[in-house]
């Protein structure tokens, strides 16, 4: 037995040393697994007692430890019990750096994922812009793995200065080739930082009006009033003047109406008070003014301005309908008729031999108070 254990089976190392290394590797793996479970368990209990979100996230990050990397770490610990040649010893050192670097990167990547999920799942006051969160998470991951790659290459003896310089030149070439995509990407980042609109906002730009459904890295998707989905480039979208109606604190309304010239001065004085009462009784409104504006071609004109204290469009239409019905009812009680367009036709010459030869005729067609029949007047 002793002769067999003293037998050199690989790299000039005896079977007895290989056995010791195997036992050390198994014990190391078990110890690492037990320590990891003990650490995460302690963090879970501490988070439950203190209700600290940071500790809970830390426990979630440690639970994301790679079992394969733990196994590889146990193998490297076992290799320390072997009298390896210098070439293999150097490789073991490089592998230690690689394992530790990859595991740290996995932990950081998990932390970025938890941060992203927390920001995207927030509602109300805790909600965050999804575009900014997505872009930042993507940039952090790219930076993380790039730094890890460069660190590993530097540890292995690669001259990363020339490598980084070549990447810079290549990056310029790639940027020129995909400048439209990069333009949309930076426009998406601008939307995330400046927040001219968010998902759920009703916006209008150019001849497009609809609700924002998704803000992506390259395009923004808008659900139009007619039902179709509009996909717009982020760069082109930011070139337009955007009207965001969801962020209205209140809606200013201006409308006009006209009454006939047969309306008396006393009736004209009472009309603004009638309008004010109609606006206030509609609810969710703030009255501003109602004035006898001027003299139209065929009617007397009034201008009304009021505010709806809620920006909802359907609510505004309900209020306007209520005001219109109230005005029709109250003005009818007052004996005031709404003004309508009137057209006057004047014939300067009459046919020879006619009964009214030499006399001009004037036809006035339109709607008068209580009558829609045309009237004929003769110019004398």
In a domain, 346, yes or no: no
Cβ–Cβ < 8 Å for 230, 210: yes
CATH number of the domain enclosing 240 = 2.30.30.60
Give whichever of 43-57, 65-79, 271-285, 331-345 has the largest mean pLDDT.
271-285
Q: Which of 335, 255, 270 is nearest to 301 (CA)?
A: 255
| Mean pLDDT of the chain, nearest integer | 80
Are 279 and 170 in the same domain? Answer: no
**pTM, full prediction:** 0.50
Q: Which of 189, 94, 197 is nearest to 136 (CA)?
A: 189
Are 20 and 102 in the same domain? Answer: yes
The one-character DSSP state at 169 is H
Are 150 and 181 in the same domain? Answer: no
In a domain, 342, yes or no: no
| Comparison of pLDDT for 367 and 298, the residue scoring more | 298
Are 243 and 287 in the same domain? Answer: no
Are 196 and 268 in the same domain? Answer: no
Q: Among 192, 221, 247, give the residue marking a domain's end.
A: 247
Assess whether pLDDT exceeds 80 at residue 343: no
In a domain, 276, yes or no: yes
Vertex 277: Cα angle to 271 and 282 (nearest 5): 130
Are 132 and 42 in the same domain? Answer: yes
pLDDT by residue (tens digit) across 107-165? 999 988 888 888 777 654 445 667 677 778 888 888 888 888 888 888 777 777 766 66
In a domain, 108, yes or no: yes
Q: What is the largest CA-CA distance in the chain?
A: 150
3-state helix, strand, coil in the chain (%, to 5): 55, 20, 25
Are 108 and 208 in the same domain? Answer: no
Which value, in Å, is the radius of gyration of the alpha carbons in the chain? 41
Confidence of residue 167 (pLDDT cuts 50, 70, 90): low
User: Residue 91 has which token pair?
Assistant: 């490789």
Domain with 144 in it: 9-121+128-158
Report the number of distinct structural domains present in the chain: 3
Q: Which of 207, 287, 295 is nearest to 255 (CA)?
A: 287
Coil/strand/helix, residue 252:
strand
Are 63 and 195 in the same domain? Answer: no
Q: Which position has the token pair 């940027």?
A: 175
Are 105 and 29 in the same domain? Answer: yes
Q: Among 247, 281, 303, give the residue marking a domain's end.
A: 247
In a domain, 177, yes or no: yes
CATH number of the domain enclosing 292 = 3.30.70.100
Are 240 and 287 in the same domain? Answer: no
In a domain, 224, yes or no: yes
In a domain, 267, yes or no: yes
Helix (H) or strand (E) holding 55: helix 53-63
Q: How large a percentage of the chain has pLDDT more than 90? A: 29
Q: Among 108, 140, 158, give the residue marking a domain's end.
A: 158
Are 136 and 171 in the same domain? Answer: no
Q: Which of 196, 188, 194, 201 is nearest to 232 (CA)?
A: 188
Coil/strand/helix, residue 259:
strand
CA distance 45 to 278: 64
Are 198 and 306 in the same domain? Answer: no
pLDDT by residue (tens digit) across 87-114? 667 777 788 888 888 999 999 999 888 8
Could you give the C-alpha distances from 128 to 109, 138, 244, 274, 296, in angstroms and in order?
20, 16, 18, 47, 53
In a domain, 175, yes or no: yes
Cβ–Cβ < 8 Å for 250, 166: no
| Comparison of pLDDT for 27 and 377, the residue scoring more | 27
User: What is the pLDDT at residue 284?
Assistant: 92
């Amino acid at each position: 037995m002793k002769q067999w254990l003293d037998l050199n089976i690989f790299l000039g190392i005896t079977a007895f040393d290989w056995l010791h290394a195997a036992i050390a590797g198994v014990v190391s793996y078990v110890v690492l697994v037990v320590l990891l479970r003990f650490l995460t368990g302690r963090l879970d209990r501490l988070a439950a007692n203190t209700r600290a979100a940071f500790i809970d996230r830390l426990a979630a990050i440690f639970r994301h430890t790679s079992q394969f990397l733990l196994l590889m770490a146990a193998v490297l610990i076992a290799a320390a019990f072997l009298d390896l040649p210098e070439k293999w010893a150097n490789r073991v050192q490089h592998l230690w750096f690689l394992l530790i670097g990859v595991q740290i990167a996995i932990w950081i990547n998990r932390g970025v994922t938890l941060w992203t999920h927390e920001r995207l799942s927030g509602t109300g006051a805790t909600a965050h812009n999804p575009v900014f969160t997505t872009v930042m998470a993507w940039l952090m991951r790219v930076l993380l793995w790039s730094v890890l790659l460069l660190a590993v290459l530097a540890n292995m003896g690669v001259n990363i200065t020339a490598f980084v310089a070549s990447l810079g030149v290549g990056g310029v070439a790639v940027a020129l080739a995909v400048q439209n995509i990069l333009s949309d990407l930076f426009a998406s980042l601008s939307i995330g930082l400046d927040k001219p609109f968010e998902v759920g906002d009703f916006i209008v730009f150019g001849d497009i009006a609809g609700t924002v459904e998704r803000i992506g890295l390259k395009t923004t998707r808008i659900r139009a009033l007619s039902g179709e989905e509009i996909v717009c480039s982020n760069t082109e979208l930011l070139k337009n003047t955007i009207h965001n109606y969801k962020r209205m604190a209140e809606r200013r309304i201006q409308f006009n109406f006209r009454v006939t010239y047969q309306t008396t001065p006393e009736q004209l004085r009472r009309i603004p008070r009638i309008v004010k009462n109609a606006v206030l009784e509609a609810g969710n409104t703030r009255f501003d003014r109602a004035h006898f504006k001027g003299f139209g071609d065929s009617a007397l004109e009034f201008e009304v301005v009021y505010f709806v204290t809620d920006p909802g469009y359907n609510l505004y239409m309900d209020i306007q309908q209520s005001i219109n019905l109230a005005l029709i009812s109250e003005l009818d009680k007052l004996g005031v008729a709404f003004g309508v367009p009137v057209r006057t036709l004047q014939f300067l010459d009459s046919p020879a031999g006619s009964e009214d030869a030499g006399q001009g005729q004037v036809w006035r067609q339109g709607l008068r108070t209580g009558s829609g029949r045309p009237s004929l007047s003769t110019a004398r």
